Structure 1
Amino acid sequence: MLRLTSPATVVTLAALTALGPLATDMYLPAMPAMAEALDTGPDQIQLTLSLYMAGFAVAQIFCGPISDRFGRKPVMVAGFSLFLLASVLCAVAPSIEWLLAGRFLQALGGAAGPVLGRAAVRDIYGPIEAGRVLSYMASTMALAPALAPVVGAGLLLFFGWQSIFVLLTFYAGIMLLVLALLMPEPLSPANRQSISPRAILRNYRMLLTQRAFIGYTLVNASGFASLFAFLSGSSFVLIEFMGMTPFEYGIGFTLIVAGFFSGTIFSGRYSHRLGRDRLLLLATLCCALAGCIMAGLALAGIYAPWAVIGPHILFLVGFGIVMPQSMSGALAPNPQCAGAASSLFGFLQMTIAALGGALVGQFHDGTSRTMAISIGLGGVFALVAYLGIVRPASRAAASQARS
C-alpha cells in the first residue's frame, strides 16, 4: 500500500487524472478516418467530443458529493469499471449512434478520475501546498496528451481506429488494479459529509455565493473552452484543410503539449515566490495574447500550420499555469466539501467547454477561422474573469485578513 504523502501517490493520482486527456486526445488524429468509416460528417464526429464533455460534466455533479460521504477510492473504482465497459462498446461500435452512446458512458465513468484526483490532493496537502502539488501533478499528467495523439496516429496507421479504444480499455483495467491493491483512502472519517439532497444542495449553494470560487472557476473554464475548441476542430483544420498527415499532426500536438508542460513546471517552481494571483495575471495575459494572435492570423487569411500551432503553444504555456492555480484557488477555502467543490468546478468547466466545442463544430467553415476566433475569445474571457472577479475578491479577502 502506498503512503499518502509519497511521490508515488502523486504519480498515481496523475495517472488516474490523465484518463480524461487520454480519452479525448488519443483519437483526435483518427477523427477524419472515423467519419469516413462510419459514413458520417465532421459535425457528428465532433459531437463525440462534445457529448463526452457533457457526460463528464453531468457525472461530476454526483461523484464528488458521493465521494464526500463514502470516500474517494470506492467511487473511483466504480467509475473506472464503467469506463472500461464503455471503451469496449466504443471499440465494437458499428455506427455513429453506438459510438456516441459509448462515449457518453465513457464520460460518466471517466469523470471520477479528474474530480477525485483533485479532491484527494486537497485532502492530503491542504490549501497552500495543494497548488504546488497540483502543478507538479499536471506536469506528470502532461505526458498523456503529449504522447496520446502520436500513439493514436500509430494505432490508426497499423491497426485501425478501433484499436485506440482497445488500448483505453487496457489502461482502465491497469488503473483498476492499482486502485484496488495499492491506493489508500485519502479522505479522513472526520471530513465525511451527508449524502442527503438537502446537504448537497446546501454545499453547492454555498459555493455559488463565493465570489472567489466563481472567479477562479470562470478563469479556468474560459481557458479550457479554448483548449476544447482546438481539440474539436484542429484535426479537421490541420489534416483536412492544411494537408498535414496524421503523424505530422501528432508531432505538432506534442509540441503544443510541451508548452503546457513548461507552464506547469513554471507554476510549480514559482508558486510560493510569486503567489497564486500574480501567476494567474501573467498566465491570463499570455492566453489572451496568444488567442488574439491566432485569430488575427486566421482573419488575415494566413492559413498555415505554423499560424495555428505556434500561437497555441504560447496559449498552452499560459493555461499550464492557469489550470493548477485556479483549481487550488477554487478548492482552498472548502476542505469540508472538497469533493463537492471539485465537482461543481469541473461541471462548470466542462459545460462551458462542451458548448464551445459544439459551436466550433456547428459553424466550422472549412478553414481555421471559427476555431481561431473561439480560442481568442476564450483567452480574452479568462483575462476579464481574472481582472473583474478574482483580483477584487482576493484584495477584499486580504483587506479583511489585515483588519
Structure 2
Amino acid sequence: MLRLTSPATIIVLAALTALGPLATDMYLPAMPVMAEALNTGPDQVQLTLSLYMAGFAMAQLFCGPISDRFGRRPVMIAGFTLFLAASLLCAFAPSIEWLLAGRFLQAFGGAAGPVLGRAAVRDIYGPVEAGRVLSYMASTMAMAPALAPVVGAGLLLFFGWESVFLLLAVYAAIMLLILALLMPEPLPADRRQSVAPRVILANYRMLLTQRSFVGYTLINASGFSGLFAFLSGSSFVLIEYMGLSPFQYGIGFILIVAGFFSGTLFSGRYSHRLGRDRLLLMATLMCTFAGTTMALLAIGGVHQPWAVVGPHILFLFGFGIVMPQSMAGALAPNPQCAGSASSLFGFLQMTIAALGGALVGQFHDGTSRTMAITIALGGGVSLAAYLRLIRPCRREARISRANCRQG
C-alpha cells in the first residue's frame, strides 16, 4: 500500500483525476472523421461532448455524498469499472445513438476520478495546503490534455477512431488495478456521513448559502466554460475551416496546454507568497483579456490559427491558476462534507461548461466567431464573480478580524 502523504499517492490521484481530460481531449481530432463514419453531422458529434459533460455533472451529485459515507476508494473502483465497460461500448458503437449512450455511461463512471481525487486531497492535506497540492497535481494532470490529442491523432491515422476508446478502456483497467492493490482509503472512519437524502440535501443547501463557495465555484465554472467552448469547437474551426491537419491541430493543442501547465506551476510556486485571492484576481483579469482579444480578432475577420491559439494559450495560463485555487477555496471551509462539496462544485462546473459547449454547437457558423465570443464571456463572468462575490467576502473577513483584535 502507498502512504497517503507520499508523492506517489499525489501522482496516483492526479492520474485518477486526469480521466476527465483524457476522455474529452483524446477523441477531438477524430470528431470530423467520426461524423463521416457514423453518417451524421458535426452537431451530433459535438453532442457527444456536451452529453458527456452533462452526465459527468449529474453523476457528481451522487458519487461525492456516497463516498462521504462509504469512503473514496470503493466508489472510485465502481466508477472506473463502469467507465471501462462504457469505453468498450463506444469503441464498437454501430451508430451515433449507441455512441451517445456510451458517452453518457462513460461520464457516469468517469466522474468518480476527479470528484473523489479533489476530496481525497482535502481529506489528507487540510484547507491551506490543499491549494498548493492541487496546483502541483494540476501540473501533473496537464500532461494528459497535452498528449491526448496527439495520441488521438496518431491512433486515428493508424488504427481508426475506435482505437481511441479502446485505449481509454486500457487506461481504466490499469487504474482499477492500482486502486484495488495499492491505494489506501483517505477518509477516516470518524468523518463518515449519512447517505440519508435529507442529510445530503441539507449539506447542499448549506453550501449554496455560502457566498464564498458560490463565488469560488462560479469563478471556476465560468473559466472552465471558456475551456470547454474551445474543446467543443476547436477541431471544426482549426481543422475544417482553417485547414490544419489533425497532427498540426495536436501540436497547437500542446502549445495551449503548455499555457495551462505553466499557470498551474505559477499557482503552486506563489500560492503562499501571493495568497489565493490575489492570484485569482490576476488570473481572472488574464482570462478576460485573452478571451476578449480572441473575440475581437474573430469579429474583425482575422481567421488565422494564431488568432485562436495565441489568445487561448494566455487564457489557459490564467485558468491554470484559477482551477486549483478556486477548488481549494470552495472546499476549505467544509471538511465535514468534502465529498458533497466536491460533488456540488463539479456539478455546477460541468453544467455551466456543457451549456457553453452547447451554445458553440448550436450557433456554430463555420468560423471562429461563436467559439471566441463564448470564451470571452467565460472570462468576463469569472472576473465578475471574483469582484462581486469573493472580494466582498474577503473585505468582511478582514473587518471582522480587526474588530476582534480591537475588542
TM-score band by shorter chain is: over 0.9
User: In structure 1, what residue type is equivalent to 2:229?
Assistant: A
Distance 1:399 1:191 in 2: 32
Distance 1:308 1:236 in 2: 13
User: In structure 1, what residue type is equivalent to 2:63?
Assistant: C
Deviation digits for residues 37-61 of structure 1 (CA, Å, limit 9, x no counterpart): 0010010000000000000000000
TM-score where L is the length of structure 1:
1.00
What SS does the corresponding residue of 2:379 show, helix, strand or coil?
helix
The 5 A counterparts of 1:185-334 are 185-334=185-334
What SS does the corresponding residue of 1:40 show, helix, strand or coil?
coil
The 5 A counterparts of 1:117-156 are 117-156=117-156
Distance 1:9 1:59 in 2: 24
How far 1:327 moved relative to its partner? 0.1
Q: Tell me the equivalent position of 2:55.
A: 55
Give the 4+ runs in structure 1 shifted more than 6 A.
none
User: In structure 2, what residue type is equivalent to 1:332?
Assistant: A
Distance 1:284 1:150 in 2: 29
How far 1:400 moved relative to its partner? 2.1
TM-score where L is the length of structure 2:
0.99
Aligned length: 403
Q: Tell me the equivalent position of 1:400.
A: 400
How far 1:104 moved relative to its partner? 0.1
RMSD: 0.5
What SS does the corresponding residue of 2:193 show, helix, strand or coil?
coil
Deviation digits for residues 81-133 of structure 1 (CA, Å, limit 9, x no counterpart): 00000000000000000000000000000000000000000000000000000
Deviation digits for residues 258-316 of structure 1 (CA, Å, limit 9, x no counterpart): 00000000000000000000000000000000000000000000000000000000000
How far 1:398 moved relative to its partner? 2.7
How far 1:337 moved relative to its partner? 0.1
What SS does the corresponding residue of 1:303 show, helix, strand or coil?
coil
Distance 1:173 1:388 in 2: 44
Distance 1:391 1:185 in 2: 36
User: In structure 1, what residue type is equivalent to 2:328?
Assistant: S
Structure 1 portions without partners, runs of 5+: none
Identical aligned pairs, as a percentage? 81
Deviation digits for residues 147-195 of structure 1 (CA, Å, limit 9, x no counterpart): 0000000000000000000000000000000000000000001110010
Q: Tell me the equivalent position of 2:170.
A: 170
Distance 1:157 1:372 in 2: 29
User: In structure 2, what residue type is equivalent to 1:277?
Assistant: D
Distance 2:328 2:112 in 1: 18
How far 1:397 moved relative to its partner? 2.1
Confirm whether residue 157 of structure 1 aligns to residue 157 of structure 2: yes
Deviation digits for residues 5-52 of structure 1 (CA, Å, limit 9, x no counterpart): 000000000000000000000000000000000010010000000000
Distance 1:178 1:398 in 2: 45
How far 1:396 moved relative to its partner? 1.3
Distance 1:51 1:133 in 2: 31
Q: Tell me the equivalent position of 1:70.
A: 70
Distance 1:397 1:142 in 2: 34
How far 1:399 moved relative to its partner? 2.3
Distance 2:202 2:361 in 1: 37
Distance 2:296 2:152 in 1: 31
Distance 1:338 1:305 in 2: 41
User: In structure 2, what residue type is equivalent to 1:191?
Assistant: R
Q: Tell me the equivalent position of 2:37.
A: 37
How far 1:394 moved relative to its partner? 1.7
User: In structure 2, what residue type is equivalent to 1:81?
Assistant: T
Q: Tell me the equivalent position of 2:91.
A: 91
Distance 2:13 2:61 in 1: 20
Q: Tell me the equivalent position of 1:113.
A: 113
How far 1:401 moved relative to its partner? 3.1
How far 1:222 moved relative to its partner? 0.3
User: In structure 1, what residue type is equivalent to 2:355?
Assistant: L
Distance 1:401 1:39 in 2: 63
Distance 1:313 1:274 in 2: 23
